[in-house]
Amino acid sequence: MMAHILTLFVGDDNQQEVEQLIRACNNPASPLAAAVKVVGTAASGEDTVRQVNDLRPDVVLVGQSLPDTPGLDVAQRILRACPGTVVLLAAETTSIDLYQRAMNVGIREVLQRPLDSVRVGAVIARIVENERLRRAEWLDREGARAPGRSGVAETAEPEPSRTVRPVPVRQELLVFCSPKGGVGKTTLAVSSAAALASRRFPDLRVLLVDLDLQFGDVGSVLGVQGNCSVADWAPGRVQSADLQEVEARLAYHKPSGLWVLPAPEDPVQASQVDAGTVKSVVEAGRRHFDVVVFDLGTDLSDAAVVSLDLATRIFVLTTLDLVTMREVVKLADIFRRLGVDPVKVKLLVSRAPRRPDLGADELKTLAARTGYPVVGRIPEADGVLRAVNRQELPSFVRADGPFQQSLKRALHSVLPVFGADGVARQSPGGLFGWELRKTRKKGGAGCR
Ligand SMILES: Nc1ncnc2c1ncn2[C@@H]1O[C@H](COP(=O)(O)OP(=O)(O)OP(=O)(O)O)[C@@H](O)[C@H]1O
Ligand SMILES: [Mg+2]
């Protein structure tokens, strides 16, 4: 049942792109037309704020470089006056700094130009679907709080987007690394990515990238082999704006809903992967995914350094032994010299034995010497190796086991997405089900 058409206001002075978007919304052949109606446009910041105040659209798309007022300021004024409006920012170039400032203001998504209607539609679809699920949870909670009142029946037409907090996960780039081999980098990168991808609340699109270029084993751990790898992403080889082309250069792991970019099989190809390659992966990742997870090897290749530079969070893994801890202190020193922002680095204890020789005191010292907090302690768990040998995901085998629970706690402490656990996995549907279904189905076109 079509509830209502979503109203969109476009405040942007790029006339050509605005016209293209309006044409797509007005074209009856386009699925966008059935779901989105453009209710107004403006080419200046002042006019945008004034009209949005009057029209109260569901979604506002704001250009970052409006002639009179910066887009971020326009967005801030809109969100103050009309909280709950979904605001998207269109920018010529994107950067971590811009994303952070945009998220701080409350902007839901930064879209890199040129705008294309499919991408804009997909972004709006995802946001609306998340809102729908949040609304369902919000109604359940409210209903449960008021005994004898049927929350769903009495609030048949609620306005959830005006009352519910935005999801804090957008455009996260996570790196799992360690100066030591065999400490569980791949296990935790894969398990974390799969745990995030399996979330339906919020619905996250997650890409896992293997940057252990010489000995990467993400593909074999997940059982996805393919004719594509990181080496296919040299600058200019993939049109990152084209979702279909991007997905065709990735593998899809169906059980988890995770998109995967394996390391090259061929060492010669591996040696060609450089900083530019990683940048093109990240560019596509930012456009089409909510979270990109990098699994690094022990070496600090150019590719690895770029991922550290662009990361929003870096998990440095340590095991509870003195040799590894000393190496971690050395790595922290290298990070300082590389200019890696210490705020984004977290220590994660991996493969912790039940009765460790070293414990809280040594970890306190490690935290003090590196300046990084310890955010979790993942136990050595019997089931992990067994699961890996069967090409099953450790995070799926026993959802309530100590490995899974401690990993979720650690992730949740930096990306609060596991708080609403127990919310059932729902199939895409609702107003924009077509777009989500289409996006997922495209996995079939990807390499495997
Ligand atoms: N928490 C855990 N409990 C039990 N076994 C684990 C755990 N974490 C990792 N392992 C096992 O330890 C081994 C090494 O793990 P993994 O490959 O993830 O480490 P790595 O740091 O990525 O290694 P490399 O440096 O070779 O890439 C694997 O056999 C894996 O199954
Ligand atoms: Mg590994």
Ligand nearest to the CA of 184: 1
Ligand nearest to the CA of 190: 1
**pLDDT over 90 for what percent of the chain?**
42
Give the confidence band of 445 by pLDDT, cuts at 50, 70, 90: very low
CA of 212 from ligand 2 middle (Å) equals 7
CA of 45 from ligand 1 middle (Å) equals 52
Determine which of 95-109, 121-135, 322-336, 421-435 has the lowest per-residue pLDDT on average: 421-435
What string of DSSP letters covers 201-252?
Answer: TTB--EEEEEE-TTT--HHHHHT---S--GGGG-TTSS-TT-HHHHHHTSEE
For the chain, counts of helices (H) and of strands (E):
19, 13
Nearest CA to ligand 1 atom 8: 184
In the chain, what is the straight-line distance between the N-terminal and C-terminal CA atoms, in Å?
36
Cα 311 to Cα 303: distance, rounded to the nearest angstrom: 12
Q: Is the dihedral of CA 96, 102, 103, 108 positive or negative?
A: negative
Give the confidence band of 76 by pLDDT, cuts at 50, 70, 90: very high
Take residue 32 and report the two structure tokens written for it: 């966008």
Mean pLDDT within 412-441:
44
Residue 107 has φ and ψ, to the nearest 5°, of -70, 140
Determine which of 2-16, 268-282, 359-373 has the lowest per-residue pLDDT on average: 2-16
Per-residue pLDDT reduced to its tens digit, 214-234: 899 999 899 887 779 999 999
CA of 36 from ligand 1 middle (Å) equals 47
Is the model more confident about 386 or about 32? 386
Residue pair 113/134 in contact (Cβ under 8 Å)? The answer is no
Atom of ligand 1 nearest to the CA of 350: 1
Strand extents, DSSP E, 262-311: 291-296
Same fold yes or no, 6-129 and 172-417: yes
The pLDDT, as a whole number, for residue 121 is 77
Q: Is the pLDDT of residue 365 over 50?
A: yes
Neighbours of 145 (CB within 10 A): 9
Residue in the block written with tokens 């997405």: 417
Determine which of 21-35, 50-64, 77-91, 117-131 has the lowest per-residue pLDDT on average: 117-131
- Radius of gyration of the chain measured on its C-alpha atoms: 23
Determine the CATH number of domain 172-417.
3.40.50.300
CA of 184 from ligand 2 middle (Å) equals 7
Nearest CA to ligand 1 atom 25: 181
Q: Which residues line ligand 1 (CB under 6 A)?
A: 178, 181-187, 212, 215, 297-298, 350-351, 378, 380-381, 384-385, 388, 403
Instruction: Say which DSSP state 161 is in.
Output: G
Q: Is the pLDDT of residue 153 over 50?
A: no
CA of 190 from ligand 2 middle (Å) equals 10
Take residue 447 and report the two structure tokens written for it: 């390499």
Cα 138 to Cα 114: distance, rounded to the nearest angstrom: 36
Q: Is the pLDDT of residue 421 over 70?
A: no
- For residue 322, give the H/E element and its range: helix 322-338
Report which listed range, 118-122, 356-360, 434-438, 440-444, is most confident. Answer: 356-360
CA of 390 from ligand 1 middle (Å) equals 14
CA of 440 from ligand 2 middle (Å) equals 28
Nearest CA to ligand 1 atom 15: 184
Is the model more confident about 394 or about 305? 305
The pLDDT, as a whole number, for residue 425 is 32
**pLDDT over 70 for what percent of the chain?**
79
148 Cβ contact list (under 8 Å, min separation 6): none
Nearest CA to ligand 1 atom 31: 385
Is the model more confident about 277 or about 80? 277
Atom of ligand 1 nearest to the CA of 298: 25
- For residue 81, give the H/E element and its range: helix 71-81
Atom of ligand 1 nearest to the CA of 189: 18
Give the confidence band of 443 by pLDDT, cuts at 50, 70, 90: very low
Cα 214 to Cα 166: distance, rounded to the nearest angstrom: 40
Nearest CA to ligand 1 atom 14: 182
Q: Domain spans of the chain?
A: 6-129, 172-417
SS3 assignment, position 267:
helix
Determine the CATH number of domain 6-129.
3.40.50.2300
